[in-house]
Amino acid sequence: MKILLTIAYVGTNYQGYQLQKDKPTVSLMLNKAVRDAFGIECNVTGCSRTDSGVHALGYCATVEPKDPNEKITVPIEKIPLVLNLSLPDDISVLDAKEVPSTFHARYDVAKKEYVYKIHASTLRDPFLNKRALEYGKEISDESFEKMQKAASFYIGTHEFDSFMSSGSKIENTERTVYESYLKRNGENIEFHILANGFLYNMVRIMVGTLLDVEKGKIHENTIPDIILAKDRKRSGSTAKADGLYLQKIFYLNS
C-alpha cells in the first residue's frame, strides 16, 4: 500500500525538505511522525528538494512500508489527522490518498507551480515576517507593468543557464515555462510560475531579475537576450528564500 500525502509547511525553521545530517529538515519531522503514527518502518519519498527557509502549500510525498509484508492499518481518511498529532505546528498533512505501487512522487511529476510573495511597502508587516520578501519600498504601477512584461519573456522552452546558481552540476538546463505572471493586491505582489521543472535557485533568480527591472538596473526588453546569453552574470540577484512557496505539484495522467 502506497500513500500520497499533500503537505503544507512553513520552512523558516528548517534546512529545506531533504534529510541532512544533524540539521532540522521537514523530511526528518515527517519520517518521525510516520514512525509514531504507523508503528512500522516506512519509505518516505518527497516530490522535490526545497531550500532552507522555503515554504510549501502543496508539497507531495509518498509513504509505503519498507517490509512488503507489513501494512499501514490507519484508515486513509484518518491519516492526515493521525500524522498531524505527531508533527510540529509549522507542518501539516492536508490530504492522503492511495496510489499504485508503481507511482513515484518525484519522477512522475509533470509540472510544478511556485509562488513568490513580495511586500512592497516602506513599513514592515509583522505577520509576513519570513513569509514574504520585505522590499522596503513601494512599487509604482509603471514599474509593475515593466516587471509584468519582463516576466512574460520567461514563458517558453529555453536553456535557463542565466537563471541557475553558479556551481550547479546540472548539465541539461532546458526547461519549459507554461505560465509566468505577476498579481497585485495593493502593496502585496505575487510572482506565479508554472514549469515542467526548475534549476537550482531558478525562481529566486528570476524574482531578483524582476526586482532589478523595477530598480532600473535591467531593461525589461533585454530578458530574451539574458536567456540566450546563458550567463549567470547577466541576470539579477538571488532573492531571499523568505517569499518562495511551492504552490502545487501536477502529476502525469492526473
Q: Which of 99, 132, 150 is the last residue of a domain?
A: 99
Specify the pTM.
0.94
> Would you say residue 27 lies in a domain?
yes
> What positions carry a catalytic annotation?
51
How many whole angstroms separate alpha carbon 128 and alpha carbon 246? 17
Same domain, 117 and 29: no
Same domain, 153 and 238: yes
pLDDT at 42 > cutoff 90: yes
> Would you say residue 104 lies in a domain?
no
Place of cell 510549501: 56
Maximum distance among all alpha carbons in the chain?
63
Residue 220 structural domain:
109-251
Number of structural domains (the chain) is 2
**Residue 242 identity (one-letter amino acid):** D
Same domain, 116 and 241: yes
Q: Could you tell me which of 229, 165, 231 has the C-alpha nearest to residue 202?
A: 165
Same domain, 158 and 52: no
CATH number at residue 207: 3.30.70.660
Q: Which of 99, 122, 151 is the last residue of a domain?
A: 99
Give the helix/strand (H/E) hosting 185: strand 174-185
Q: Please state the rounded mean pLDDT for residues 159-170.
A: 88
Ranking 2-6, 67-71, 157-161 by mean pLDDT, the lowest is 67-71
The mean of the pLDDT values for the chain is: 95
Provide the sign of the torsion angle of the four alpha carbons 79, 82, 84, 87, taken in this order.
Answer: negative
In contact, 74 and 84? CB cutoff 8 Å: no
Summarised one tens digit per residue, pLDDT across range 88-124 is 999 999 999 999 999 999 999 999 999 999 999 999 9
pLDDT at 19 > cutoff 90: no
pLDDT at 254 > cutoff 70: no
Same domain, 124 and 224: yes
Phi, psi (rounded to 5 degrees) for 224 = -60, -40
Summarised one tens digit per residue, pLDDT across range 80-89 is 999 999 999 9
The SS3 call for residue 86 is helix
The pLDDT, as a whole number, for residue 183 is: 97
How many whole angstroms separate alpha carbon 222 and alpha carbon 217? 11
- With cut-offs at 50, 70 and 90, classify the pLDDT of residue 49: confident
